[in-house]
Structure 1
Amino acid sequence: MTFSATTILVLALIAAVLITAGVWAYTTANRLDRLHVRSDQARLALDAALDRRAVVARAVATILHGLDDPQLVEQARRLASLADRAERANWRDRETVENQLAGALSAVDSALLPPQLVAELADAEARVLIARRFHNDAVRDTLALRTRRPVRWLHLGGTAPLPTYFEIAERATAAASTGLDVDTVRTSARIVLLDEQDRVLLLRGVDPQIPDVPFWFTIGGGIETGETLREAAIRELYEETGYPADSSALRGPLWRRVAVFPFNGELIRSEELFFALRAKNFTPEPGSLDFIERRSIIGNQWCTPTDIAHLDHVGETVYPYHLDQLLPEAIAAADADADPEVRSIR
């Protein structure tokens, strides 16, 4: 039996389509599997952060109970009860209990607590905030792929249950305050951007009101209303360098830094979350800077650890501190397949 050229062409096209569809289905299923793993890890991290806050809440309750004030004793009992309920609650009901616990902690007068416990509570609350945002980012990315029609039709998600968002109130509590009268409180997403030679891209900046004192800092800025950490990081990367990137390439957050600093006549308290990202070397061309950024960003440079140490030596401070010593950690995170555990830095 012989086949005409047309028949062979049609069969070849059908085979190509089938192969392409098969490759797409295989890669999509693998990507979906990685997203599910990421969602599961994020949920475990959030669960651990919530458990730690419950432990600290019980420590706060113990202190309040020992002050021999009837109102404080009642407050202590409520705190301890909510902490116990939060730890025992199933995932479906935990949002409600955690919101109640957060409200009870907000009502605590931090002046009644030892400074070390105030700091521990502030750190526990901050870790819950980070873990919750990281968890919801993972859920969003998983659902975005899982709910596509071809993925549903081909059952590429298998029998894994759909992940769900965890919605709890984000509030600035008394325990999280700095004790200073700040003008602005913000959360920032930052990127340690590395090229093929493990150099980090730093921006050179000044305070518009003190233009003769330059300093250096990593890519990034404040999160806008409705943004996730990853969305803010990618937006800031494009605005400040013109480099487009996919948020799935980010690794982290790997560091958390809380800083209080004056800028443009205001005192700002910023909680900064750092991601690592690998990119091919390029010449930064800002995509979209606002008025303040155009006045405050005056240069950029790809830097080695030696370069960073030299900048510090000549009096041009680099933020975060000791970035030259931190770079190996960022390099390892950028090249890893999984996100690292976040830790605090200066």
Structure 2
Amino acid sequence: MTSSGVALTFLVLLGLVVLVGPGILGTANRLDRLHVRTDAAWAALDAALARRAVVTRAVSVVCGTPALGTAADRAERASRVDRETAENELSALLEDLDRSVLAPALAAELSDAEQRVVLARRVHNDAVRDTLALRRWRLVRWLRLAGTAPTPSYFEIAEPPADVPTQRVSARVVLVDGDDRVLLFEGFDPARPEELFWFTVGGGVEPAEDLRATAVREAHEETGLRLSPDELVGPVWKRRAVFSFDGLSYAAEEWFFVSRAECSDVDTSRFDELEQRTIRRHRWWSVEELRATDDTVYPVQLAEVLPDALAGWDGETRLVR
């Protein structure tokens, strides 16, 4: 290359740096602020949960319900990984509490502590949503602008419902293709359409229907694939979760089967009206992609437990989050 060509190339690169550099710097600064916001939101949520635990222990003494105090201690000491489960168990006990026996001041303090948890959770999840949205930008991923900052995650604790949560048993299919990729759908809660998440094939068990029949039916309705009950391995996992969807609260019990798909073609034409409204797309995920993604995936431990399930089932149904 001639000296003039080198000079021209240098000028072009310099121009790109001048044009693009401020944008990259601005994005990096914005991402840093979002991480700070997420950390602060988690600290506020952690403090709100701790206050609820303190008030709950006082309530436990007054009501003579040591199980309530034990649940509060367990929730407060739980690691971040186990915190959701412990806090939801505490919420369930508080839902069953007869508050009429409490002094008005203590009942009001408990109600206030619970509402502060609700508000802090919403603020935290809003911060997580905004952070994840920016981290998913191609430019952010390509240039690794997130650095070593950990990927934030939503805190899934059910808000105090007006009624008792609806019990929901479902059968789910971990459908994998010939390349050991798992099929997931991306959807959202109509009440919080900005919070996207990925989930496996499956749905609720109908009256007089067993788990395998549900798994086969749901697989056909959601993918067009016709599986037989004998093709289902498991249930390999069981997941309990308390969550809100479309303004209603559910206490879910999910059973997961593994099955192989002969082809990767998916037919979603049998989606019901709610699925058509709330499911955006589907794709096949490798274990490596699951480990690397910033997207929210349920079950949360899918990338961790999928390899063992693909290697062969030992007959034990394991609890997953």
Instruction: Give TM-score, length-normalised by structure 2.
Output: 0.50
